[in-house]
Amino acid sequence: MEQVDVVVIGSGQGGVPLAVNLSREGKRTVLFEKRSLGGSCLNYGCYPSKAFLAAAHDAGVRRRAAGFGVDIKAEIDFARLMGRVRSKIDSSYIKKSLDKAGVQTIMAEAAFTGVRTVAGGGQEFQAETVIINTGNAPLVPPVPGLDKTPYMTYINFWEINEMPARILVIGGGYIGVELGQGLAELGAEVHIIETAERIVAREEPDLSQVLASALADDGVVFHLGRQAKQVRHDGNVFTLTLDNNETLEGEALLVVAGQKPNTVSLNCAAGGVELTDRGFVKVNDRLENTSPGVYAIGDVTGQPAFTHVSWEDYRRLMSILKGGSRRQMDRVLGYAFYTEPEAGRCGLTIDQAREQGLDARAVTLPLERVARAWLSDRTNGFFRLAVENGTDKILGATLVGPRASDLVHVFIDLMEAGATWRDLEKSVHIHPAFAEGLPTLARLLL
């Protein structure tokens, strides 16, 4: 067994920069990765999905353009499209930066063998600091028959070269909604099966409603409040029986029904590393586990599963390891759905604010009242702002509409700066940008 300063398990968004920076600072650092360097974002998450959606949304423009009197005929070369998507997955630069920084990278699954002792690939290390950055894995529901079929998850979806004529998508969370819409825009018949009564069910109901109507316009068929009861595959076609005995058929089946933490094979008990009831690594607000010297970052801690959360955890943990004051929740959380229209969220919803006992109110501006949206016939959506009475603090925002993933940064920045809605109300935004609607939204509070 070798003695080192730092062991990082998993090369996700935070693990790689932590390993590189700690090694550069002279710490003897070992990094284990069991699959592909760069983790889910690069290899089967954000990168391929947003490269795919760039093409799909361009194809989807033909439906929207028809309303302007512009008729576009799309010819989809799906193999070329997917080849381009795969070309965006390249982790060679990560290996180079790890090597340059002097990190010992071991491409193997790692597990605890003792307190701050980790083994994998035939090597074992005892370290002063162990950082767990193992992320999430697809959650596959126990549907009878499913395991005997060649279903896809978000891990292998990117390998297909032939567009399925009909695709069944189990899961109406944001991954199912993004990919389902993309496939429909490209011309597939898409069915989304969701156990909740609405898609993206954790979001505000009218956000779900806007996305549901946009996807329905693209041809997506929803089966809401339904569960898959049985799956069969006859060599070509999947047959899915729902709990109301309806049967659906498709040439492909994509299971995107949630995620679970990658902790099962870590043998955390051997390291004295405590997990939560749901199997995430338990951490305090300094990202440290109950086993001193063991830290965890990113998805595996049960935080909202986003790349920028894990990446910022790297900066937080660098500060914490040096005795700094950063803490797990010391940020405004924002995220987006890259559907068409997009959704951008940050901070609290009005319901969350009231649940926290805050004296809050919210205003909503329908996109019909934003000149650019009206001129572009893109009025399916709204801007919403939640504020605290008395202090005028901005508590959160929900934007659904064109460019919402970018526009929401106005609120993230205002909130970080401690600005109030009155600062936004005073701002003169450019006419007729979509962002012109943001001060208009704030003026509803006057």
Ligand X SMILES: Cc1cc2nc3c(=O)[nH]c(=O)nc-3n(C[C@H](O)[C@H](O)[C@H](O)COP(=O)(O)OP(=O)(O)OC[C@H]3O[C@@H](n4cnc5c(N)ncnc54)[C@H](O)[C@@H]3O)c2cc1C
CB of 7 to ligand X, least distance (A): 10
Closest CA to 45 of 88, 84, 92: 88
Q: Applying CB under 6 A, which part among 29-37, 64-72, 162-170, 238-246 lies near ligand X?
A: 29-37
* Binding region for ligand X (CB under 6 A) out of 275-283, 297-305, 341-349, 407-415: 297-305
Angle between helices 46-66 and 174-185 (to 10 degrees): 50
User: Is 169 a binder of ligand X (CB under 6 A)?
Assistant: no
Which residue number, 11 or 104, has a Cβ lying nearer to ligand X?
11
Which is closer to ligand X, CB of 60 or CB of 171?
171
Q: How far is the CB of 83 from ligand X (least distance, A)?
A: 18
Report the b/e string of 336-374 with b at 16+ CB within 10 A. bbbbbbbbbbbbbbbeebeeeebebebbebebeebebbe
Amino acid at 240: L
Q: Exposed (0-12), middle (13-18) or buried (19+): which is 265, by Cβ within 10 Å? A: exposed
Q: Is the peptide bond before 261 cis (omega within 30 degrees of 0)?
A: no
Place of tokens 């700690």: 22
Determine which residue in the list 4, 46, 242, 419 makes contact with ligand X, applying CB under 6 A: 46
Torsional sign, CA 4, 5, 7, 13: negative
Task: Provide the token pair at 328.
Answer: 């797990």
- Candidates 306, 382, 383, 434: give the one binding ligand X (CB under 6 A): 306
Pairing of strands 123-132, 294-296: parallel
Q: Which of 5, 25, 34, 62 binds ligand X (CB under 6 A)?
A: 34
Does residue number 420 form part of the binding site for ligand X (CB under 6 A)? no
- Tell me, residue by residue from 257 to 286, as one string, x for binding to ligand X by CB under 6 A and - for no binding: -----x--xx--------------------
How far apart are CB 143 and ligand X at their closest, in Å?
20
For ligand X, the binding residue among 175, 231, 320, 321 (CB under 6 A) is 175
Cα separation of 28 and 6, whole Å? 6
Binding region for ligand X (CB under 6 A) out of 12-20, 210-218, 228-236, 420-428: 12-20
Q: Which stretch binds ligand X (CB under 6 A): 40-48, 186-194, 232-240, 438-446?
A: 40-48
Interaction between residue 39 and ligand X (CB under 6 A): yes
x/- mask, ligand X, residues 309-348, rule CB under 6 A, reads -x---------------------------x----------
Q: Figure out which of the listed residues 6, 7, 8, 12 binds ligand X, where binding follows CB under 6 A.
A: 12
Burial string for 424-438 (b: 16+ CB within 10 Å, else e) reads bbeeeeeeeebbbbb
Q: Which is nearer to ligand X, 40 or 398 (CB)?
A: 40
User: How many chain residues touch ligand X (CB under 6 A)?
Assistant: 38
Answer for which of 4, 5, 35, 429 binds ligand X (CB under 6 A) is 35
Report residue 59 CA to chain centroid gap: 23
- Residue linked to tokens 């060649």: 150
As measured in angstroms, the least distance from the Cβ of 57 to ligand X is: 14
- Residue 277's contacts (CB-CB under 8 Å, 6 or more residues apart) are none
Residue 49 found at the interface with ligand X (CB under 6 A): yes
Q: Which residue has the tokens 């609405």?
A: 198
> Rounded to 5 degrees, what are φ and ψ at 440?
-60, -40
By CB under 6 A, residue 61 contacts ligand X: no
Using the minimum distance from each CB to ligand X, give the nearer residue, 163 or 424. Answer: 163
The widest CA-to-CA distance across the chain, in whole angstroms, is 71
Cis peptide before 432 (omega within 30 of 0): yes
CB of 9 to ligand X, least distance (A): 5
Beta strands 136-138 and 259-261 are: antiparallel
Q: Which residues bind ligand X (CB under 6 A)?
A: 9-14, 32-35, 39-41, 44-46, 49-50, 109-110, 133-136, 154, 175, 262, 265-266, 298-300, 305-308, 310, 338
